[in-house]
Structure 1
Amino acid sequence: MKVCLKCAHAFSSDGWGCPVCHYEPARLNGFDAHAEEFANGGGGFNPEYFEELASLEAANFWFRARNELILWALKTYKPDAHSLLEVGCGTGFVLSGIAQKHPQMALSGSEIFLTGLSHAAARVPTAQFMQMDARHVPFFCEFDVIGAFDVLEHIEEDESVLTQLHKALKPTGVLLLTVPQHPWLWSANDDYACHVRRYTARELHKKVTDAGFRIERSTSFVSLLLPAMMLSRRASGVKSIERDVTAELRLSRTLNNVFLSMMRIEQRLIRSGVNFTLGGSRLVVARKNA
């Protein structure tokens, strides 16, 4: 069901006009805008990064390996899913992978910045897109799966976001999360990426369960590459010359392929049941308590 963000009335309708207070979100660049005050900027991320990200993601080892891990988790933990919302969909790279593997699934994507949505809509024309603030989700018991992939770390009010995602999931629906991990890995890269935090597993687990979820799987990833990541972060931390968040994504083809192969070895271990304690990122699969 949809939820009016003005009067909180829940309703079923093809459109967004509230039958009680008659509020209707604005339309910006062809998208329903539920938080238009943030549509062109306002913190959490630099919208100027989207264009470069869109050109780099498809080839970069990290984005490719993360997509493969997400697709495995979706198939494993919610094989009967018919609907999915990705919150903070960015340029649509994750949704494009899901659309290829699950062409019959009803896909939706939200992004707070319009610049990201334009890339996402071009990448996944079959999905429904909206401009939205993840702290105020206009749905109730609507989706089988909600994904937030490297989103929570950009938002101060992450606990409020998790509560909103819980509300928007159907009973026994599944939440898929990826976040950057280990505060001791903090470097200039996190500053330039507009991160608010890097998580500990304990912190993330508590926030997820406090929001009403039951954790079904939690593991680090980017674990075999952690030594290389630590060296890279140490180097960037002592540099005084400012650089953009996408700089570490531009690797030689050889190095990129080596890193992708190592992350695929890691994936095979995760699929076999191994849960890594250490790693640059963490995957959490959680189910809404009915």
Structure 2
Amino acid sequence: MDRSAYASLSAQEGSHWWFVARRAIVDALIRTRIAPRANARILEAGCGTGGNLAMLARHGTVDALEYDGESLALAMSRGVGTVAVGALPDQIGFGDNCYDLIVLLDVLEHVEQDRASLAALRERLAVGGSLLLTVPAAPWLWSDHDILHHHKRRYTLGSLSAVARSAGLEVKEVGYFNSLLFPVAVLARFAQRLTGRTTVADSRPVRPINALFRHIFCMERHLIGRISLPVGLSAYAILSA
């Protein structure tokens, strides 16, 4: 990821509408669709600056890996779980530990070897364990935002399911989210293309807009897994070995 973009986003991880709402949705998926056992062993692969660690720690004991040195230091400074340097697909670390829950939150799109990465994580699932991942969806929405953040691809539900199955994983559930704001994003992307604007705004919007977007996006935690949302800016999958 571009350094300036990453610094901007990581500084806002606690308050930016997208980060706050995604955490709420991931938390809801873990509670209602996975329901790991008490004191579950959890691995976050690609934890960034550690913004999800406290939420994950409510569900069990957390290990986390991160490749980027600056992000790793920030994640370690949070004092939540065990955070170590690592990378997908072949530098997962933590010995031979297996996990009841592995989460991969907007990471797979950054990895060249997505199938090999999922196959490697499959080997670290405990019996009965689940892998929860989120990715950007709708390849036709590819934009300067994806280029700035060094995405390799965006996924459809079909392509996400296919790469999971090719890695030897069973697809238990797959779906879209960040759906309620989808029309706003589509209009913004097309306006960008029409005007030729290439700059990408990642900074937190003004407080009223930030609060509105957070509220709208957070509402989806009551819908996800209960109804099938027809489209979304993001996709999720719950997988098992």
TM (normalized to structure 1)?
0.76
Query: In the alignment, is residue 64 of structure 1 matched against residue 20 of structure 2?
Result: yes
- Structure 1 CA distance, aligned partners of 2:62 and 2:153? 29
- Structure 2 CA distance, aligned partners of 1:208 and 1:175? 10
Query: In the alignment, is residue 287 of structure 1 matched against residue 240 of structure 2?
Result: yes
Q: For residues 100-145 of structure 1, give each alpha carbon's deviation from its aligned partner in whole angstroms, at most 9, with x where no partner exists.
A: x34xx2211111111101111112x131111112111345461111
**Aligned equivalent of 1:260, options 200, 210, 214:** 214
Q: Which has the larger displacement, 203-212 or 51-60?
A: 51-60
Query: In the alignment, is residue 79 of structure 1 matched against residue 33 of structure 2?
Result: no
- Structure 1 CA distance, aligned partners of 2:123 and 2:44? 15
Task: Report the equivalent of 1:51.
Answer: 7
Q: Which has the larger displacement, 154-163 or 140-149?
A: 140-149
Task: Report the equivalent of 2:167.
Answer: 211
**Mapping 1:172-187, distance limit 5 Å:** 172-187=128-143
Q: CA deviation at 1:241?
A: 5.9
**Cα distance change, pair 118–238 in 1 and its aligned pair in 2 (3 A):** farther
Rg larger in structure: 1
Q: With CA pairs under 8 Å and 6+ residues apart, which has the higher RCO, 1 or 2?
A: 2
User: Is 1:140–1:167's contact at 8 Å kept on the other side of the alignment?
Assistant: no
**Cα distance change, pair 121–171 in 1 and its aligned pair in 2 (3 A):** same
Query: In the alignment, is residue 111 of structure 1 matched against residue 69 of structure 2?
Result: no
- Structure 1 CA distance, aligned partners of 2:3 and 2:99? 27
**Cα distance change, pair 173–258 in 1 and its aligned pair in 2 (3 A):** same
Task: Report the equivalent of 2:76.
Answer: 121
What residue ranges of structure 1 are gaps of 5+ in the alignment?
1-44
User: Is 2:46–2:66's contact at 8 Å kept on the other side of the alignment?
Assistant: yes
TM (normalized to structure 2)?
0.91
What residue ranges of structure 2 are gaps of 5+ in the alignment?
none
**Mapping 1:2-151, distance limit 5 Å:** 45-76=1-32, 77-80=34-37, 82-99=40-57, 101-102=58-59, 105-123=60-78, 125-136=79-90, 137-138=92-93, 139-140=95-96, 142-151=98-107
- Structure 2 CA distance, aligned partners of 1:85 and 1:198? 24
The amino acid across from 2:231 in the alignment is L
Aligned residues with identical type, % of pairs: 31
User: Is 1:186–1:198's contact at 8 Å kept on the other side of the alignment?
Assistant: yes
User: Is 2:42–2:62's contact at 8 Å kept on the other side of the alignment?
Assistant: yes
Count of residues in Structure 1 that have an aligned counterpart in Structure 2: 237
Q: For residues 144-184 of structure 1, give each alpha carbon's deviation from its aligned partner in whole angstroms, at most 9, with x where no partner exists.
A: 11111000101111001000110111122110100000111
CA RMSD of aligned residues (A): 1.8
**Cα distance change, pair 261–164 in 1 and its aligned pair in 2 (3 A):** same
**Mapping 1:139-288, distance limit 5 Å:** 139-140=95-96, 142-237=98-193, 243=199, 247-271=201-225, 273-288=226-241
- Structure 2 CA distance, aligned partners of 1:50 and 1:121? 17
